[in-house]
Amino acid sequence: MQQSDMQDPHEIVVIGAGPAGAIAAALLQRRGHQVTIFERQRFPRFSIGESLLAHCLEFVEEAGMMDAVRAAGFQQKNGAAFAWGDRYSAFDFREKFSPGPGMTFQVLRSRFDQVLADEAARQGVRIHYEHEVVAADFDGPRPWLQVRDLKAGADAAPRRVDTRFVLDASGYGRVLARLLDLERPTSLPPRRAIFTHIEDHIDAADFDRQKILISVHPEHEDVWFWTIPFSNGRCSLGVVGAEEKIQPADGDLMGALRRWVEGTPNLRRILARAAWDTPANTIGGYSASVRSLHGQGWALLGNAAEFLDPVFSSGVTIAMHSAKLAAECLHRQLGGETVDWEAAFATPLMRGVQCFRTYVQGWYDGSFRDVVFYEQAQPQIRAMISSILAGYAWDEANPFVAEHERRLRMLAEVCRGGFRDRPLSDKAMGQATTEPA
């Protein structure tokens, strides 16, 4: 028989204590609400998504967590670098079009997520680790969940938790998407990543520890690598590509990763002295989508709703942006306002998601790679692209955000012409930015 929490109702329940959950909970707690987080895992726990975008720090600051994040000693990050054969291109987030921070961090997610969760708890958020949400009901006058305490053993009965609203920030767990049958096929093809952490021993003079390095395989242009340096002399290393290419037939993940690195000259050189001291892991089928981002008594945040691809590290940024929008809507609603969640939450969130999607697809079809590696781009255009890479995919003053599909298509055509023939004129480059719709 299930126990009931009717005597101690939770005003707001957040599923998941990762970045989206911690930020949303803190923002709401700071506005006077009582927030409870149920997190299935015990923290600290491993996670990828270690290269943060600059836009993230606006939400960390607003949630009152910036001092703790700075004090944690994470590797500072000022941009992104790209390598493909003998081509190299670097974007500095401080030289961007959009307002906002130009510096961010590369983080061990186990430590970063713990810092955010601890800061949320310090502000009054109640966090219950190793608690799993196993059922949800939104048909009655108030939502309620069934929550199982995993520490109590497999035979322990779940307890009922009544609440006024549920925010699902469960990430890849996608709790409400599964329980409410919200999942739908994504338009992105299935891809797989193999990854590990290494003691990198990088001493190459041309390697910038303040940037993520994204490398393209010289023969398989749809296969790329991330190299994310940390402040402790280690780095996160991963390879991403089509499922059939990346998944090793013999199951040897580390062997497969090392073979891909050996076949990529710039990585082979940079990592020549690395100590491969941590078993590799893999994740596939990570791109996800849902039929709806919200409903009566619930909303989905971050990866629990939409996840695109790791190539531009957009996952944590989308998660935090969704947390901010949802917290604003929910605060207004609980204060008695009638809130149009589609207009105030889903639509503005998806504007940025769709912008990121355009550049992710452009990376794989080659159009955005041509832009990234074009050497003669005007500084103004590079600043606009840098803004998107820094996470400012909601800044519609940027033409490459406001009309992302059309502007990218035009710019890619210009850049391809430059590759084929000669550096193009400022007039030709400028048309991609200034030509009216």
pTM: 0.92
Quick one: pLDDT at residue 310?
81
pLDDT of residue 212 exceeding 80, the answer is: yes
- Contact indicator for 118, 125 with CB cutoff of 8 Å: no
User: Which residues, listed in sequence order, are joined to residue 289 by a DSSP beta bridge?
Assistant: 184
Query: Is residue 311 pLDDT above 90, yes or no?
Result: no
DSSP string for 326-389: HHHHHHHHHTT----HIIIIIHHHHHHHHHHHHHHHHHHHSHHHHHHT-TT--HHHHHHHHHHH
* pLDDT above 60 (res 423): no
Q: How far apart are alpha carbons 358 and 156 in whole angstroms?
A: 46
Largest Cα–Cα distance in the chain?
75
CA 364 to centroid of chain Cα atoms: 18
By percentage, how much of the chain surpasses pLDDT 70? Answer: 92
Q: What is the pLDDT of residue 173?
A: 86
Q: Which pLDDT belongs to residue 2?
A: 43
**Residue 6 pLDDT exceeds 70:** no
What is the sign of the dihedral through the CA atoms of 309, 313, 316 and 318?
negative
Given a cut of 80, whether residue 156 has pLDDT beyond it is yes
pLDDT of 308 reads 72
* Residue 120 in tokens: 């949320």
Find tokens 């003079």 and name the residue: 205
Mean pLDDT throughout 210-230? 96
Q: Six-digit token pair at 365?
A: 């079809």
Q: Is the pLDDT of residue 165 over 60?
A: yes
DSSP state at residue 403: T
The mean pLDDT of 73-79, rounded to a whole number, is 98
Res. 362: pLDDT tops 50: yes
| Residue 206 confidence (pLDDT) | 93
Q: What is the pLDDT of residue 375?
A: 84
Residue 353 Cα distances to 39, 150, 180, 349, angstroms: 25, 34, 22, 7
Q: Which domains are present in the chain?
A: 3-72+107-184+288-352 (3.50.50.60), 191-284 (3.30.9.100), 368-434 (no CATH)
Mean of pLDDT values over 31-56: 96
Give residue-wise pLDDT tens across range 344-354.
Answer: 999 999 999 99
Q: What is the mean pLDDT of residues 409-432?
A: 64
What residues have CB less than 8 Å from 422, skipping those under 6 apart?
none
